Copies of this chain bind each other. A is one copy, B any other.
Protein backbone atom coordinates (compact mmCIF):
# COMPACT_ATOMS: atom_id res chain seq x y z
CA UNK A 1 0.00 0.00 0.00
CA UNK A 2 1.24 3.52 -0.80
CA UNK A 3 2.43 5.27 2.33
CA UNK A 4 0.66 8.45 1.26
CA UNK A 5 -2.59 6.52 1.70
CA UNK A 6 -1.62 4.80 4.93
CA UNK A 7 0.02 7.76 6.71
CA UNK A 8 2.64 7.64 9.44
CA UNK A 9 0.37 6.33 12.19
CA UNK A 10 -1.20 3.75 9.87
CA UNK A 11 2.23 2.45 8.92
CA UNK A 12 3.34 2.29 12.54
CA UNK A 13 0.22 0.26 13.42
CA UNK A 14 0.85 -2.09 10.49
CA UNK A 15 4.48 -2.61 11.48
CA UNK A 16 3.60 -3.09 15.15
CA UNK A 17 1.47 -6.09 14.18
CA UNK A 18 4.66 -7.60 12.77
CA UNK A 19 6.65 -7.03 15.94
CA UNK A 20 6.50 -9.74 18.59
CA UNK A 21 4.72 -8.76 21.80
CA UNK A 22 6.55 -7.12 24.65
CA UNK A 23 8.90 -9.51 26.39
CA UNK A 24 10.79 -9.88 29.65
CA UNK A 25 12.70 -6.75 30.56
CA UNK A 26 10.43 -4.45 28.55
CA UNK A 27 8.02 -2.61 30.84
CA UNK A 28 6.59 -0.38 28.07
CA UNK A 29 7.48 -0.94 24.42
CA UNK A 30 6.51 0.93 21.26
CA UNK A 31 3.76 3.54 21.46
CA UNK A 32 4.67 6.05 24.17
CA UNK A 33 7.19 8.90 24.26
CA UNK A 34 9.99 6.57 25.33
CA UNK A 35 10.41 2.87 26.02
CA UNK A 36 10.66 1.77 29.64
CA UNK A 37 13.18 -0.99 30.23
CA UNK A 38 14.05 -2.95 33.32
CA UNK A 39 17.67 -2.18 34.09
CA UNK A 40 20.01 -5.11 34.74
CA UNK A 41 21.94 -5.22 37.99
CA UNK A 42 25.06 -3.39 36.95
CA UNK A 43 25.81 -2.01 33.53
CA UNK A 44 24.16 -1.54 30.16
CA UNK A 45 25.75 -1.33 26.71
CA UNK A 46 24.46 0.96 23.96
CA UNK A 47 25.50 1.18 20.32
CA UNK A 48 24.08 3.07 17.35
CA UNK A 49 24.52 2.57 13.59
CA UNK A 50 23.24 4.57 10.65
CA UNK A 51 22.72 3.02 7.21
CA UNK A 52 22.00 5.29 4.25
CA UNK A 53 20.81 4.13 0.83
CA UNK A 54 23.48 4.78 -1.79
CA UNK A 55 26.23 4.88 0.86
CA UNK A 56 25.85 1.68 2.88
CA UNK A 57 23.50 -0.33 0.72
CA UNK A 58 22.00 -0.53 -2.73
CA UNK A 59 18.54 -2.01 -3.10
CA UNK A 60 19.55 -3.30 -6.53
CA UNK A 61 21.75 -5.83 -4.69
CA UNK A 62 19.87 -6.57 -1.50
CA UNK A 63 16.27 -7.42 -0.67
CA UNK A 64 14.47 -5.51 2.08
CA UNK A 65 14.49 -8.71 4.12
CA UNK A 66 18.27 -9.06 3.83
CA UNK A 67 18.73 -5.37 4.58
CA UNK A 68 16.67 -5.62 7.78
CA UNK A 69 18.60 -8.70 8.82
CA UNK A 70 21.99 -7.06 8.26
CA UNK A 71 20.88 -3.79 9.87
CA UNK A 72 20.35 -5.50 13.22
CA UNK A 73 23.25 -7.96 12.68
CA UNK A 74 25.87 -5.19 12.56
CA UNK A 75 24.55 -3.74 15.83
CA UNK A 76 24.54 -7.18 17.49
CA UNK A 77 28.15 -7.56 16.38
CA UNK A 78 29.06 -4.38 18.31
CA UNK A 79 27.48 -5.66 21.51
CA UNK A 80 29.24 -9.03 21.13
CA UNK A 81 32.51 -7.11 20.63
CA UNK A 82 32.09 -5.78 24.19
CA UNK A 83 31.34 -9.23 25.56
CA UNK A 84 27.70 -8.28 26.13
CA UNK A 85 24.23 -9.67 25.57
CA UNK A 86 21.98 -7.73 23.12
CA UNK A 87 18.45 -7.07 24.39
CA UNK A 88 16.51 -4.06 23.11
CA UNK A 89 16.47 -2.43 19.67
CA UNK A 90 15.22 0.99 18.58
CA UNK A 91 14.62 1.50 14.86
CA UNK A 92 14.45 4.92 13.18
CA UNK A 93 13.47 4.89 9.50
CA UNK A 94 13.27 7.68 6.94
CA UNK A 95 11.22 6.34 4.04
CA UNK A 96 11.13 7.87 0.55
CA UNK A 97 7.98 7.99 -1.53
CA UNK A 98 9.06 5.22 -3.88
CA UNK A 99 8.73 2.46 -1.27
CA UNK A 100 5.44 1.16 0.07
CA UNK A 101 4.23 -0.50 3.24
CA UNK A 102 4.90 -4.04 1.92
CA UNK A 103 8.58 -3.11 1.53
CA UNK A 104 8.68 -1.94 5.13
CA UNK A 105 6.97 -5.12 6.34
CA UNK A 106 9.61 -7.15 4.49
CA UNK A 107 12.36 -5.04 6.08
CA UNK A 108 10.87 -5.70 9.52
CA UNK A 109 10.58 -9.41 8.82
CA UNK A 110 14.36 -9.47 8.31
CA UNK A 111 14.87 -7.53 11.54
CA UNK A 112 12.48 -9.84 13.37
CA UNK A 113 14.18 -12.96 12.03
CA UNK A 114 17.54 -12.15 13.61
CA UNK A 115 15.95 -10.47 16.65
CA UNK A 116 14.18 -13.76 17.35
CA UNK A 117 17.42 -15.74 17.08
CA UNK A 118 19.04 -13.68 19.81
CA UNK A 119 16.04 -12.84 21.98
CA UNK A 120 16.04 -9.14 21.10
CA UNK A 121 12.90 -7.00 21.41
CA UNK A 122 12.12 -3.94 19.27
CA UNK A 123 11.10 -1.29 21.78
CA UNK A 124 10.75 1.93 19.82
CA UNK A 125 12.22 4.36 17.36
CA UNK A 126 10.96 6.90 14.89
CA UNK A 127 9.26 6.72 11.49
CA UNK A 128 9.32 9.62 9.08
CA UNK A 129 9.37 10.59 5.43
CA UNK A 130 12.62 11.06 3.51
CA UNK A 131 12.95 13.08 0.33
CA UNK A 132 16.15 11.23 -0.43
CA UNK A 133 16.88 7.54 -0.11
CA UNK A 134 15.93 5.09 2.60
CA UNK A 135 17.63 5.90 5.91
CA UNK A 136 17.94 3.49 8.82
CA UNK A 137 19.30 4.13 12.28
CA UNK A 138 19.41 1.40 14.87
CA UNK A 139 20.23 1.67 18.54
CA UNK A 140 20.85 -1.58 20.33
CA UNK A 141 20.94 -1.85 24.11
CA UNK A 142 22.48 -4.83 25.81
CA UNK A 143 23.37 -6.15 29.21
CA UNK A 144 27.06 -5.95 29.95
CA UNK A 145 28.94 -8.93 31.33
CA UNK A 146 30.58 -8.50 34.71
CA UNK A 147 33.79 -7.72 32.81
CA UNK A 148 33.36 -5.52 29.75
CA UNK A 149 35.98 -6.07 27.07
CA UNK A 150 37.34 -2.88 25.54
CA UNK A 151 39.71 -2.23 22.66
CA UNK A 152 42.33 -0.97 25.05
CA UNK A 153 43.49 -4.01 27.02
CA UNK A 154 45.88 -5.81 24.61
CA UNK A 155 49.30 -6.57 26.13
CA UNK A 156 52.68 -7.41 24.62
CA UNK A 157 52.89 -11.18 24.20
CA UNK A 158 49.11 -11.68 23.83
CA UNK A 159 47.97 -13.77 20.89
CA UNK A 160 45.61 -12.31 18.31
CA UNK A 161 42.54 -14.35 17.32
CA UNK A 162 39.65 -14.09 14.85
CA UNK A 163 36.43 -16.08 15.13
CA UNK A 164 35.79 -16.75 11.44
CA UNK A 165 37.06 -16.56 7.87
CA UNK A 166 37.82 -13.11 6.48
CA UNK A 167 37.36 -11.49 3.08
CA UNK A 168 34.20 -13.37 2.08
CA UNK A 169 31.96 -10.35 2.52
CA UNK A 170 34.27 -8.04 0.55
CA UNK A 171 34.52 -10.50 -2.33
CA UNK A 172 30.76 -11.07 -2.13
CA UNK A 173 30.18 -7.33 -2.46
CA UNK A 174 32.49 -7.08 -5.47
CA UNK A 175 30.64 -9.92 -7.16
CA UNK A 176 27.25 -8.37 -6.40
CA UNK A 177 28.33 -5.02 -7.81
CA UNK A 178 29.85 -6.47 -10.95
CA UNK A 179 27.59 -9.36 -11.91
CA UNK A 180 24.30 -8.98 -10.09
CA UNK A 181 22.39 -10.03 -13.21
CA UNK A 182 24.46 -13.16 -13.60
CA UNK A 183 24.07 -14.00 -9.92
CA UNK A 184 20.32 -14.11 -10.62
CA UNK A 185 21.14 -16.94 -13.00
CA UNK A 186 22.92 -18.74 -10.19
CA UNK A 187 19.83 -18.28 -8.04
CA UNK A 188 17.68 -19.82 -10.75
CA UNK A 189 19.75 -22.99 -10.77
CA UNK A 190 22.76 -22.54 -13.08
CA UNK A 191 25.91 -24.34 -11.89
CA UNK A 192 28.35 -21.72 -13.12
CA UNK A 193 28.58 -18.23 -14.60
CA UNK A 194 31.23 -16.27 -16.51
CA UNK A 195 33.04 -13.13 -15.34
CA UNK A 196 35.75 -11.48 -17.49
CA UNK A 197 36.04 -14.71 -19.45
CA UNK A 198 36.59 -16.79 -16.29
CA UNK A 199 34.22 -19.44 -14.99
CA UNK A 200 32.89 -19.08 -11.43
CA UNK A 201 31.11 -21.84 -9.54
CA UNK A 202 27.62 -20.65 -8.59
CA UNK A 203 27.69 -22.33 -5.17
CA UNK A 204 30.79 -20.29 -4.26
CA UNK A 205 29.39 -17.06 -5.67
CA UNK A 206 26.13 -17.41 -3.76
CA UNK A 207 27.93 -18.29 -0.52
CA UNK A 208 30.12 -15.18 -0.74
CA UNK A 209 27.23 -12.89 -1.70
CA UNK A 210 25.28 -14.26 1.23
CA UNK A 211 28.14 -13.54 3.63
CA UNK A 212 27.94 -9.92 2.49
CA UNK A 213 24.16 -9.63 2.56
CA UNK A 214 23.40 -11.52 5.77
CA UNK A 215 26.37 -11.54 8.15
CA UNK A 216 26.01 -13.98 11.06
CA UNK A 217 27.40 -12.45 14.24
CA UNK A 218 28.34 -14.90 17.00
CA UNK A 219 29.65 -14.21 20.50
CA UNK A 220 32.68 -15.88 22.03
CA UNK A 221 31.79 -17.99 25.00
CA UNK A 222 34.70 -17.78 27.35
CA UNK A 223 35.77 -14.15 27.77
CA UNK A 224 37.49 -14.50 31.16
CA UNK A 225 41.02 -14.06 29.85
CA UNK A 226 40.28 -11.96 26.77
CA UNK A 227 42.25 -8.71 27.03
CA UNK A 228 40.76 -6.71 24.13
CA UNK A 229 38.12 -7.19 21.45
CA UNK A 230 36.55 -5.49 18.40
CA UNK A 231 34.34 -6.66 15.58
CA UNK A 232 35.78 -6.50 12.07
CA UNK A 233 33.73 -3.96 10.16
CA UNK A 234 36.41 -1.71 8.62
CA UNK A 235 38.77 -4.59 7.71
CA UNK A 236 41.29 -6.68 9.67
CA UNK A 237 44.22 -4.25 9.36
CA UNK A 238 42.10 -1.20 10.18
CA UNK A 239 40.37 -2.82 13.15
CA UNK A 240 43.57 -4.34 14.49
CA UNK A 241 44.94 -0.81 14.12
CA UNK A 242 42.13 0.42 16.42
CA UNK A 243 43.16 -2.16 19.05
CA UNK A 244 46.84 -1.13 18.70
CA UNK A 245 45.93 2.57 18.98
CA UNK A 246 43.78 2.09 22.06
CA UNK A 247 46.14 -0.40 23.71
CA UNK A 248 49.30 1.60 22.78
CA UNK A 249 50.88 -1.54 21.40
CA UNK A 250 52.07 -3.07 18.11
CA UNK A 251 51.09 -6.25 16.29
CA UNK A 252 52.41 -8.98 13.99
CA UNK A 253 50.08 -10.89 11.70
CA UNK A 254 51.13 -14.28 10.31
CA UNK A 255 49.58 -13.90 6.89
CA UNK A 256 49.20 -17.62 6.23
CA UNK A 257 47.32 -18.12 9.49
CA UNK A 258 44.55 -15.73 8.45
CA UNK A 259 41.60 -18.06 7.81
CA UNK A 260 40.19 -18.05 4.28
CA UNK A 261 37.07 -19.87 3.14
CA UNK A 262 37.25 -22.43 0.35
CA UNK A 263 34.75 -20.29 -1.55
CA UNK A 264 36.98 -17.21 -1.40
CA UNK A 265 40.03 -19.25 -2.42
CA UNK A 266 38.17 -20.76 -5.36
CA UNK A 267 36.68 -17.52 -6.70
CA UNK A 268 39.89 -15.49 -6.16
CA UNK A 269 41.85 -18.18 -8.00
CA UNK A 270 39.42 -18.16 -10.92
CA UNK A 271 39.67 -14.37 -11.15
CA UNK A 272 43.45 -14.28 -10.66
CA UNK A 273 43.09 -12.13 -7.54
CA UNK A 274 45.00 -12.31 -4.24
CA UNK A 275 42.48 -13.53 -1.62
CA UNK A 276 44.52 -11.90 1.17
CA UNK A 277 43.78 -8.46 -0.29
CA UNK A 278 40.13 -9.15 0.58
CA UNK A 279 40.86 -10.84 3.91
CA UNK A 280 43.20 -8.14 5.23
CA UNK A 281 41.50 -4.99 3.97
CA UNK A 282 37.99 -5.98 2.95
CA UNK A 283 35.79 -5.24 5.93
CA UNK A 284 32.19 -6.04 6.86
CA UNK A 285 33.20 -9.50 8.05
CA UNK A 286 31.46 -9.05 11.40
CA UNK A 287 33.59 -11.70 13.01
CA UNK A 288 35.32 -10.90 16.30
CA UNK A 289 38.98 -9.96 16.56
CA UNK A 290 40.37 -10.39 20.07
CA UNK A 291 43.55 -10.75 22.07
CA UNK A 292 44.27 -13.15 24.92
CA UNK A 293 47.30 -14.76 26.58
CA UNK A 294 49.19 -17.36 24.53
CA UNK A 295 47.84 -20.28 26.55
CA UNK A 296 44.20 -19.23 25.95
CA UNK A 297 42.13 -22.21 24.85
CA UNK A 298 39.63 -21.30 22.18
CA UNK A 299 38.16 -22.56 18.94
CA UNK A 300 39.06 -19.26 17.27
CA UNK A 301 41.95 -18.89 14.79
CA UNK A 302 45.25 -17.61 16.16
CA UNK A 303 46.59 -15.20 13.51
CA UNK A 304 49.32 -13.21 15.24
CA UNK A 305 50.61 -11.61 18.38
CA UNK A 306 50.80 -8.29 20.15
CA UNK A 307 54.28 -6.74 20.28
CA UNK A 308 55.64 -3.62 21.94
CA UNK A 309 55.43 -1.42 18.88
CA UNK A 310 55.23 -1.45 15.09
CA UNK A 311 52.71 -3.24 12.86
CA UNK A 312 53.90 -6.00 10.55
CA UNK A 313 52.68 -8.80 8.35
CA UNK A 314 54.94 -11.87 8.11
CA UNK A 315 54.39 -14.03 5.05
CA UNK A 316 55.11 -17.74 4.53
CA UNK A 317 58.73 -17.07 3.62
CA UNK A 318 59.32 -15.12 6.83
CA UNK A 319 59.33 -11.79 5.00
CA UNK A 320 58.25 -8.94 7.32
CA UNK A 321 56.32 -6.02 5.81
CA UNK A 322 55.00 -3.04 7.79
CA UNK A 323 51.29 -2.36 7.38
CA UNK A 324 49.13 0.69 7.81
CA UNK A 325 45.56 0.65 9.01
CA UNK A 326 43.94 0.29 5.62
CA UNK A 327 40.20 -0.03 5.41
CA UNK A 328 37.08 1.85 4.62
CA UNK A 329 36.81 5.40 5.95
CA UNK A 330 33.88 7.74 5.29
CA UNK A 331 34.46 11.14 3.57
CA UNK A 332 37.94 10.12 2.30
- Output the residue of A42, A50, A79 with the most chain B CB within 10 A: A50
A34 touches B28 (CB 8 A): no
Which partner residue on chain B sits nearest A54 by CB separation?
B131
CA distance A88 to B31 in the complex (A): 21
Q: Does A48 sit at the interface, judged by CB under 8 A? A: yes
B332 touches A4 (CB 8 A): yes
Taking A33-B231, A34-B78, A148-B36 as contacts, is the C-beta distance between A55 and B139 under 8 angstroms? no
A37 touches B32 (CB 8 A): no
- Output the residue of A35, A44, A54, A129 with the most chain B CB within 10 A: A44
Which partner residue on chain B sits nearest A127 by CB separation?
B330
B9 touches A329 (CB 8 A): yes
Question: Which residue from B88, B128, B142, B144 sits with its C-beta under 8 Å from A52?
Answer: B128
A139 touches B330 (CB 8 A): no
A94 touches B52 (CB 8 A): yes
Residues of B within 8 A of A54 (CB): 131-132
Residues of B within 8 A of A49 (CB): 92, 126
Residues of B within 8 A of A141 (CB): 46, 141
CA distance A99 to B47 in the complex (A): 25
Q: Does A6 sit at the interface, judged by CB under 8 A? A: yes
Residues of B within 8 A of A206 (CB): none
Question: Which residue from B3, B4, B150 sits with its C-beta under 8 Å from A28?
Answer: B150
- A residues 166-203 with Cβ under 8 Å of B? none
Q: Does A271 sit at the interface, judged by CB under 8 A? A: no
CA distance A94 to B27 in the complex (A): 32
Whole-angstrom distance between the Cβ of A45 and the nearest chain B Cβ: 4
B144 touches A36 (CB 8 A): yes
A123 touches B330 (CB 8 A): no
Taking A6-B331, A139-B46, A139-B48 as contacts, is the C-beta distance between A32 and B82 under 8 angstroms? yes
* Chain A interfacial positions (CB closer than 8 Å to B): 3-4, 6-9, 11, 27-28, 31-50, 52, 54-56, 77-79, 81-82, 84, 88, 90-95, 123-133, 135, 137, 139-142, 144, 148, 150-152, 230-231, 246, 329-332
A-B contact pairs, 15 of them (CB 8 A): A8-B332, A27-B148, A33-B47, A34-B78, A34-B79, A37-B45, A37-B46, A39-B43, A50-B94, A50-B126, A52-B129, A52-B132, A55-B94, A90-B139, A128-B330
Q: A34-B46, A36-B43, A48-B137 are in contact. List 13 more A-B contacts (CB 8 A).
A: A9-B329, A32-B151, A32-B152, A34-B84, A36-B82, A46-B141, A48-B90, A48-B126, A49-B92, A50-B92, A52-B132, A55-B128, A139-B139
